[in-house]
Chain A
Amino acid sequence: GENVEQHPSTLSVQEGDSAVIKCTYSDSASNYFPWYKQELGKRPQLIIDIRSNVGEKKDQRIAVTLNKTAKHFSLHITETQPEDSAVYFCAAENTNAGKSTFGDGTTLTVKP
């Protein structure tokens, strides 16, 4: 089955700095790679996603890159703000199979 590894497990940055979280996956059949943000005590919510036919996608301060050959994808947050503090999860999915595998999460702390 699919295996997703996520690094780092914790990340602390100063407000205004950039944050990068990396994930690797094992199943070459995976073709959909979402990123979820989970605030304390809340449900995970999608912040950005990328599909296998695209190498990069950007939405304001958030960007995701995908390297299918190396089987890794990354989340980039620029100009971080205290409200970006949360746990971030990557996931890999084979959309034909209908199931997702999640990484173990990265706790991001943005210090004012």
Chain B
Amino acid sequence: NAGVTQTPKFQVLKTGQSMTLQCAQDMNHEYMSWYRQDPGMGLRLIHYSVGAGITDQGEVPNGYNVSRSTTEDFPLRLLSAAPSQTSVYFCASSRRGPMANIQYFGAGTRLSVL
């Protein structure tokens, strides 16, 4: 049981390049989310999903796309990278239910955009 796995751990991009951050969970969790964490700040929600085939925008969705074709995977796509997207990205998953909702985070992806 690996939990939430994010790849890559580190990435350097040039302005304008595109890439996909991968996130996979093996806990059969319905909910998955992507956050970005800038230095000295909290976690800001980019996109989230309440189940396969369902996604929605968080508070900072511009410049990012997501899809959820399976329960396990929730990739985050940067369409045209900008220096403002330099950040640490965390994926998280949680179970749905009356005593659930605890979020389990991946180890993070440190992204630098030059």
Contact = CB atoms under 8 A, between A and B. Distances in A.
Range for the number of chain A residues in contact with chain B: 20 to 34
Contact of B43 (A46, A98, A102): A102
B42 A89 contact: yes
B14 interface: no
B103 to A, nearest CB: 7
A34 B103 contact: yes
Contacts of A46: 102-103
Given A1-B59, A89-B43, A102-B42, A49 B102 contact: yes
A100 interface: yes
Interface of B: 30-31, 33, 35, 40-45, 48-50, 56, 58-59, 90, 96, 100-103, 105-108
Nearest to B35: A102
25 contacts: A6-B42, A32-B101, A34-B102, A34-B103, A36-B103, A42-B107, A43-B106, A44-B90, A44-B103, A45-B105, A46-B103, A93-B101, A98-B48, A98-B50, A98-B96, A99-B45, A99-B56, A100-B33, A102-B35, A102-B42, A102-B43, A102-B44, A102-B45, A104-B41, A105-B41
